[in-house]
Structure 1
Amino acid sequence: MFRAVAFALMSGVFFAGSHLGVAQAQDQPRPASQCQAIAETVPKASFVSFKPQQMAQARKIAEDVRITFIGHSTYSIESPEGVLIATDYSGYYRPQRLPDIVTMNKAHSTHYTRSPDAGIKHVLPGWSDTPGQKADHHVVVGDTYTRNVSTDIRAYGGFEENGNSIFIFEIAGLCIGHLGHLHHELTDSHYTQIGRLDVLMVPTDGGLTMGADSMSRVVQRLRSSLILPMHRSGPPLERFLTMFDGKFDIVYAKEPVITVSLRNLPRKPQILIPQGM
């Protein structure tokens, strides 16, 4: 309930740029991240005060986010206003309609395309083609805010700095993270940049990205309520699931579309296996 109320109170700041209907302009201030606004310092927290009428406002906000596993590392995420996002988009796995936003990573060709459909308005690569730079996205479209946190990828026997991105989607008070093709454990700086993640999309291949034990440490450190597996290849999915030793409930989705809101997040952390995996 606190998160729902906090979302209502922050929405005037966060969506100040949403009237643009397009990516946040370069000369506009970056939107406030609700996922990083839980505390000013640790352990001292800064909470929001509210009044009964603000509680009523929180209840009126459209809050259902629809998530569908499309294939490999591609999930579609649809906001309450109908903004459609596709993750690690290669063009091979496609949502039923053209996305408004696609994110990409370049570890393998199954995670990106150099020739996306011209009708996609916002194409967000998780890397920069300019040497020495990193991708830095802060994109507001309708009721969504998409940003990224850069990580490294293995390349030519070593690591390519900032070659991958963890994308974070802030929608209807939810903080949704997609780890992309993560190749190394995260630093304290990464966790600070990421902030809170309610929903986390995690590669479960057990080696092409990271080993299951390393990936499980990342998942447990992020403390997300809902874990959605992806990038299933190599070892059986069960090997990944056993790494959590009863700390997470394991549930198999009954419907192809997963409807998530602040109000229906599981109280005990849950790994939800989507249909089609």
Structure 2
Amino acid sequence: MFVSDPLAVLGQLPGVPEAVEEARQAVDRLYRHRVLRRASPAVSTESSLRGARASASLEGVDVSLDALRRDEVHDPLVQGALRVSAEMGRLGATWRKAPRQVLARLHTVAAAGLADQADVGRPRSGDATADPLDLGPAPGAAEAAARMENLLDLLGSPTKAPAIVLAAIVHAELAVLRPFGTADGIVARSAERLTLVEYGLDPKSLAVVEVGHLELPYADALRAYLTGTPEGVAEWIRHCAAAVSLGVRETTAICEALQRG
């Protein structure tokens, strides 16, 4: 049976509407914080820094915020995460129109120093060997490419699903397909944040959703998604909604620290 809006169907899976609404309300409360009237750019910058740190940590490289602020960390994966965070602000307007181009750019920025120059920004032609989350073998290159085409089609199709649902599917597909073979997790989490920004939930990129993923059982939620069952997919989307809510909590702490001076 053909489903004209598959994302809307996913948005109605058990527990998903409630989790999505809770996250949306959390974001709405954050945007009413008085500090954002005068310091929204500073909050967004700090959110990006904390997001990059958390994203690198999910890949197995844990560093302190203080070390990042002092520019003392030279690990290529951490540097890639930082570059991606800086690059996202320039890619938002292109995300809806040319997502393939944006993903290639994100990987080029993230994988510098991790992959051969000839391979950055290009879909892998062989097997993906990196598996930092112990998810098991990734699909072969041909299957990954076919599923990426489906994902890109999905991004370009109209949907009534909330931004969180679309962001969750974009994130999961990139994370489990590992289409580039290096730094795929960094790219996946960046694409999720871009989707939350460009599809209207968090237009100022304030919520540190990556910290939410770090605090939650991230790999377990992705394994649930990998089952392909409605229950597993629902668990993943609920996880992403909870990550947004926790990311809002992190950003609220940033706002309150700025308020105290």
Q: TM over 0.5: same fold?
A: no
Higher strand proportion (structure 1 or 2)? 1
